[in-house]
A = this chain, B = another copy of it.
């Protein structure tokens, strides 16, 4: 099967204004927690921030209006998925993902590096990039650093990510070192392609790799900082390692990244993870946890998770979380949500998702408020106190 080349993006139009900036506006005096503001051409993002995952150009089951009501300020799209389906030739007809999916706030797109290694088949890596077979139809593709930049430019995303080489956990030191070397090589090419491209507006983030080896993480952070990106992500965490190791790696790596740039921990995590990582100085997060678990009937509350299919809720007239002000908790009972879920009604997935995204976004919003008031440590203590009740 021939390698399919990306169609030239003939009718892609640059946004009228392109911009990206980040400012730290408050720092905790008791931890490394900080609050900031990112400016993009689609509006501001207040950090720390949780970004709902909208892999295929939709945050599963919810509408853009609902996301805005929930308080979402930025969402994720996925380069690998959108490149394969519906493809850039189609999205470019809408001048990018924003208009295609009816979302006019910022979008960050993952580079596809993670999906190529986790979903695609027959993946082969070379200096030129990654060749792989689509998980949908087996078609063969090459994602080079330059092509990943082109695709994200076509998507018109506000924050683009470099192509990186992800590795499984556990991995040997030699595997991690090789992947790190490739990641830096690709990062440099992404940076060059991004800057010289007419689509080189908006932001490009580098992704730190290095497995669970502190010295490799440092090397990756230093090499990427030398290249100079708009912001920095830490990839390859939450891939199966113990939580202590994940936090140790984040604790070690975050201070190695420029303090004046946003710092993004990819694919993490639970509320407990988020509060610890904010304490360590992380600014941005994304995770499928609230959305995927919602579709499996798990709902997050201040005092832990509940599984809505549990028979104890069958005649429970209370909302999922009595203190929550989301649309779901304001209008529906556990008994009704359980009924919908057991009957596999489509509304179940949506109502659960609305609640969970609201919980994550509101949880981190309250952390931000605590940082601004320099009361983050109190907030953290209170969080654990309630969780243990």
Task: List the interface of chain A (C-beta within 8 A of B).
Answer: 56-58, 60-63, 85-86, 89-90, 93-94, 100-102, 314-315, 317, 331-333, 335-336, 338-340, 342-343, 345-347, 349-350
Instruction: Determine the residue in chain B with the shortest Cβ distance to A344.
Output: B56
Residues of B within 8 A of A57 (CB): 336, 339-340
Known: A63-B347, A93-B317, A346-B350. 7 other contacts (CB 8 A): A56-B343, A56-B345, A58-B347, A62-B347, A85-B342, A86-B338, A90-B315
- State the number of copies, please: 2
* Given A86-B335, A335-B93: A58 touches B100 (CB 8 Å cut-off): no
* Given A93-B335, A100-B333, A332-B102: A61 touches B346 (CB 8 Å cut-off): yes
Instruction: Determine the residue in chain B with the shortest Cβ distance to A59.
Output: B347
Is the CB–CB distance between A347 and B61 below 8 Å?
yes
Most buried by B among A333, A340, A346: A346
Bound-state Cα–Cα, A101 to B348, Å: 12
Residues of B within 8 A of A350 (CB): 61, 63, 346, 350
* Given A58-B340, A340-B58: A90 touches B346 (CB 8 Å cut-off): no
Distance in angstroms from A147 CB to nearest chain B CB is 21
* Given A57-B339, A90-B314, A339-B90: A331 touches B85 (CB 8 Å cut-off): no
Is the CB–CB distance between A336 and B101 below 8 Å?
yes
Residues of B within 8 A of A86 (CB): 314, 335, 338-339
Could you write out 7 A-B pairs with CB less than 8 Å apart? A56-B345, A57-B339, A86-B335, A89-B315, A93-B315, A94-B335, A346-B350
Bound-state Cα–Cα, A335 to B92, Å: 12
Distance in angstroms from A318 CB to nearest chain B CB is 11
Distance in angstroms from A156 CB to nearest chain B CB is 15
The 10 closest A-B pairs by CB, nearest first: A61-B346, A86-B339, A102-B331, A58-B347, A90-B315, A56-B343, A58-B345, A93-B315, A60-B346, A100-B336
